[in-house]
Structure 1
Amino acid sequence: MASRILIVFLLVFGINGYAQINHPKASPLAIAEQEVGLSKISVKYSRPATKGREIFGGLVPYGRIWRVGANESTKITVDTDMTVMGNTLPKGTYALYAFPEASAWQIVFHKNISHWGDGRRNYDPKEDLFRVNVKPQNVHHHQENFLIAFDSITHNSTNMNLTWAKTQVIIPFIVDTHAQMEIEIAKQITENPKAQTYYEAARYLQEQEKDYERSLEYLNKALELGGDTYYFHRVKSLVEAKLGDYKSAIASAEKSLKIADELGKDEFVRMNQKNISAWKQVLKK
């Protein structure tokens, strides 16, 4: 009987003796994600606060490796190959480190993601994928918690901004979305050749100001398969105008306007009216 009580005591109090309290973290975990064209960047990091402290050159010493946050090392994942300031960043996950200085920072994309924090003595520069040099900037507002965010987003690029206290560094990313889109267009036209498929391919080319002749071919195919729609004719008019065929552009815009008016699409009516007027003025010159 005594042995049973001892076993129960060890199971209950022994295990609980090693348990940890689940408490709020001083530097809470965050994930920053951003789509760039057909690609995505994801950053998992912790967000320490200034709490009235001097940050860079103080809490974060100059010239020493920093984990770009707190707790675990910051991890960045890209789901396609990208370019960072002339360096190829292959698809995958990397530890993100920094060596801050007053006038310049080195940002490190590191292949070893197993280190806790900055890796301490286990950090090996030979395991860096590459480093880039960036200049810190002063910001007017005070950023209390360290923040990683994305801005200046296009189909082909974005800036990753690291901001804390009154300091910000900006790291530009570039992705070849057009190459991905050409593969996607070819795949969908082969496997799913519907009116909407041709229209979306044409609209992409028109928006990116690329290969207007092919865009027009796709739009004609979309109209052949899907019939008249105000948005097919709307994009067709824009492409024809870019090709310098203003008579055809006006005709297409008038078709788009008529259908849009019947459907109560006031915005498209106004846009078509504006373009028709502008293109008629071009023809008069």
Structure 2
Amino acid sequence: MKIAGKAVVLPYAERCKNILVSNWRGTLHTIKADAKGSKGDIYSSKIKYFFNKGRPYVWVLEGDKHNVNTVIDERGSLAVTSPFPGPLASLLKSINKLPSRIALTGDVIPVRHEKAHSVAENLRETILSEEKTLKQSSYSVSGIFSSSAGCSSRGESLQEVLDGGDRYVAYKFDIRSCSYIDNGGSEHEVDVAEIKASKADQLSPYAVKLIDGINQSRARRRALMLFCLVHMNTKARDAFILSVDRKGFDVLGKVPRLVTTEGLNDHQWREFRFTFTEEANDIETFCRLLVEMEEEALKTVSSYSGLTF
């Protein structure tokens, strides 16, 4: 299975939708308030959310100040990043690189009891569906996911909301504007209507486990290094998968930057895009295509006369 000759990336609206579906943690910002009204200062805290039917449903701990702030002023913003689990988090921190992320502005509206129950049931059904998919998965999928045993999935983490260990207040976040910030820090305004109209990749709910499973496996990271050599003609000393989608995946490779006066190679982390020749519309297809790429890259490298790697 060969990769496409030209790197293909998703439109910004679809990238935003994938981030919202693949993650479940975000930072909520509301305007500080007291009995006299809004003060203009911003209060922020980590929250859990579930993206359902075009909007995030946010769960705020019962004692959190957001619950007071939104009574006075319902305006808020929500920041969500592309998943960066396990060793990827340490790597990004060490090179001062931020993952792609989105910033939403909108209104934080309390969810009535009946609606909150409906959202909770939708979440429960989604978690059960994802668990069923993983139980019925092929060896190629389970092989990758088994390397990510210590990483919680979206469903496992949101199950805590349903279990009732902590008391939460539920809100819906009505989106008014959206900005996509790429890995380089460039900001792109995205039409909210386009986000609502787009569909998230079916593999988005499993992105965290996919990314971590690949990065926790030394053999699979070595395969990423082979991809850089075979398809990008670049010899990487190390590599990590950065993001996944139905079109392909992004890789951070540690590659030569220059040769010093002492003759020693200086290295930098550089991003590479690998595009499939067919779309991976589910995790089975993604893992199959990845395994085919690994096998093909190994055969190609093995055929190079006198090459050591």
- TM bucket (normalised to shorter chain) is under 0.3
Larger Rg: 1
> Which of 1 and 2 has higher RCO (CA within 8 Å, sep 6+)?
2
TM-score (norm 2): 0.22
TM-score (norm 1): 0.24
